[in-house]
Chains A and B, each alone.
Chain A
Amino acid sequence: MANIAVKRIKREFKEVIKSEEVAGGAIKLELVNESWTELKGEIVGPTDTPYDGGRFILEIKVPDTYPFNPPKIRFMTKIWHPNVSSVTGAICLDILKDQWAAALTLRTVLLSIQALLSAGEPDDPQDAVVAKQYKENYQLFQMTARHWTNVYAGGPNVITEFNNKVQRIVDMGIDEHRARVALSTFDWQIERATENLFS
C-alpha cells in the first residue's frame, strides 16, 4: 500500500479514536488487518429514526490510491434504507463517489453515513424497491426499517405482527431472510410474498 495512504489512515484512525463521537458511543472504528488496508466501522442509528438503537457494522476498504480516491464502504449489517442496497449493503452517497474530496476523513465519512440514515434520498436510490415503498407508503417503510433494525442491528423495537408473518413463511420451509425480503418487498402481504417465493 502506498506510503501516503498508510500514513493518512494511521493519523485518521487516531483522530477517530480520540474524537468525542467515539467517547459518546456514536461511531467506532477497528482495524481488520495489520496492513491498514481494511477497517471495520460501526455507527449507531440516529434517534427519532427507525434505525434508533441499532448498531450498524460497516466494511471499509482503503484503496492504494487513498486519499486521491475514496474508501470503499458498505454495510455489513442488513438495513432497509432507500440509499443502501438491501442485498449487498452498497451505499449511494455522493461523497463516496464523484463528490469525494481528499480532505475528507474516515471520521467525517462515518458521520455522513450516519446522517444519511436520518435523511433518506428516495429520488437517488440504491435500492429501487425500498425507495418505491418509501415514496408510496412511508409509514410501512418506517415499520419495515424498524423491524430490520430490530432483527439485524439489535434495535429495541419488536414488531410482533411482522415476526409472526415471517414465521408463517418459514414454517413453509423458506429461509428466514428470504421470507423477510419477500414480505418487505410486497408490503407484508403474505399471499403476494408466497406467490413470488414459490413461482
Chain B
Amino acid sequence: MGFDIKRFQGDVDEELICPICSGVLEDPLQAPACEHAFCRACITEWISRQPTCPVDRQAVTASQLRPVPRILRNLLSRLCTTCDNQPHGSGCGLVIPKDELAQHNCVRELRALIATQQGKLTDYQHELAEQRLVINEHKRELALLKEFMRAMRVSNPAMRALADQMEREEVVRWANSLSRARVTRWGGMISTPDEVLQQMIKRSLSESGCPPHIIDDLMENCHERRWPPGLSSLETRQNNRRQYEKYVCKRVPGKQAVLVLQCDNGHVDEHMMVEPGLVMIFAHGIE
C-alpha cells in the first residue's frame, strides 16, 4: 500500500498516485499493454480477485506485471517526505528525499544537526566577544572626546556660544519632527503623575529622539510642583484655563500626553511657561 500523500512536500503529480489506494506509489508495477501503474501490494491484491487492469479492465495476470520505467522510479525517489517516525509523533521533523528514507536514522540526523548548530553558536560567541571589545574602546574614546569638548566650551566663549546654538537647533529639529496634538478634555490632566507613569513617558520621549540634554529637565516639568505660577495649583489652573487653548501642543508618541515646548510657545504668557517646556500627562482626551 502506498505512502500517505500528506507526508509529501507540496502537490504530488496525479501520475505518481496509485489508482487503487490513492497513496503515492510504493514499489510500483505496471500492466503490460496499457502501462497503468500501481503499488505492488495493491495490484497483487486486486489481481487475486480479478485478472484485469483496475483502470481499463484489460486482461492482466500477475506474471505479466512489469517494473515501471526508470523515469517514473526517479520521479518517485525525488519526492521529499517526512521520516517514517513522523506519523507516530516522534519523528525528527526533517524532510528528506524519499530514496534516502531507507537509510534514514532520526537520532543520527538530529545529532549531526546539533553538532553543526553548536559549531555556529561557538563562532557567534567569539564574534560577540570581539564586538564587545571594540564597543568598549569606542566608549572610552567617546568619553575622552566629550571631556575635551567640555573643556573647550569652558575655556573658549566662542565655542560656548556655538555649542549652545547647536543644542537649541537640535531641540527645534526634534520639536518639528513631532506631530501636533489636540487636547479635547483639559480636565483629564494628571497634575501629580507617579513614578511609574513618569518612567513610561520618559522612555517614549527618548524613543522619539528627544535631545538628551533636555530630557531630564522636561521630565521634572511633568509634575505640578515644578509647573509655572499660572499652573501650580488647582485654583490657578481654574483661573487660567482659558489660556490653555493658546498652547501649541506636540504629541508624545503613543501616549496620552503632550509636550508644550518653549521653542513652540514664545507667544504664551510667562507665568504659563517654563524652560525648556512642559510635559502634561492626561487620563484621556488626546487626539
Which chain B residues numbered 10 to 46 have a C-beta less than 8 Å away from chain A?
19-23, 36, 42, 45-46
The answer to whether residues A68 and B45 also contact, given A101-B55, A102-B54 and a CB cut-off of 8 A, is yes
10 A-B pairs whose Cβ atoms sit less than 8 Å apart in the complex? A4-B42, A7-B21, A11-B22, A12-B22, A101-B55, A102-B42, A102-B46, A103-B19, A103-B20, A103-B36
Which chain A residues numbered 1 to 22 have a C-beta less than 8 Å away from chain B?
3-4, 7-8, 11-12
Q: How many whole Å from B2's CB to the nearest CB in chain A?
A: 9
The answer to whether A3 and B55 touch across the interface, beta carbons within 8 angstroms, is: no
Question: Which 4 interchain pairs have the tightest Cβ spacing?
Answer: A102-B54, A103-B19, A103-B55, A11-B22
The answer to whether residues A8 and B45 also contact, given A101-B52, A103-B55 and a CB cut-off of 8 A, is no
Docked pose: A11 CA to B6 CA in angstroms: 11
Tell me if B4 is interfacial: C-beta within 8 Å of chain A.
Answer: yes
Residue of A nearest to B21 (CB): A4
Q: Which residues does A use to contact B, with CB under 8 Å?
A: 3-4, 7-8, 11-12, 67-69, 99, 101-103
Docked pose: A67 CA to B43 CA in angstroms: 11
The answer to whether B55 and A4 touch across the interface, beta carbons within 8 angstroms, is: no
Q: Which residues does B use to contact A, with CB under 8 Å?
A: 1, 4-5, 19-23, 36, 42, 45-46, 49, 52-57
Contacts of A3 in B (CB 8 A): 1
Docked pose: A160 CA to B22 CA in angstroms: 50
Residue of B nearest to A9 (CB): B22
A68: contacting residue among B5, B23, B46, CB under 8 A: B46
Docked pose: A11 CA to B57 CA in angstroms: 22
Among A68, A99, A103, find the residue whose CB has the most chain B CB atoms closer than 10 A.
A103
Q: How many whole Å from B190's CB to the nearest CB in chain A?
A: 60
Docked pose: A12 CA to B20 CA in angstroms: 11
The answer to whether A101 and B21 touch across the interface, beta carbons within 8 angstroms, is: no
Given contacts A4-B1, A69-B49, 4 further A-B contacts (CB under 8 A): A8-B21, A68-B49, A103-B20, A103-B36
The answer to whether residues A102 and B23 also contact, given A3-B1, A4-B1, A68-B46 and a CB cut-off of 8 A, is no
The answer to whether residues A67 and B1 also contact, given A102-B54, A103-B54 and a CB cut-off of 8 A, is no
The answer to whether A7 and B46 touch across the interface, beta carbons within 8 angstroms, is: no
Contacts of A68 in B (CB 8 A): 20, 45-46, 49
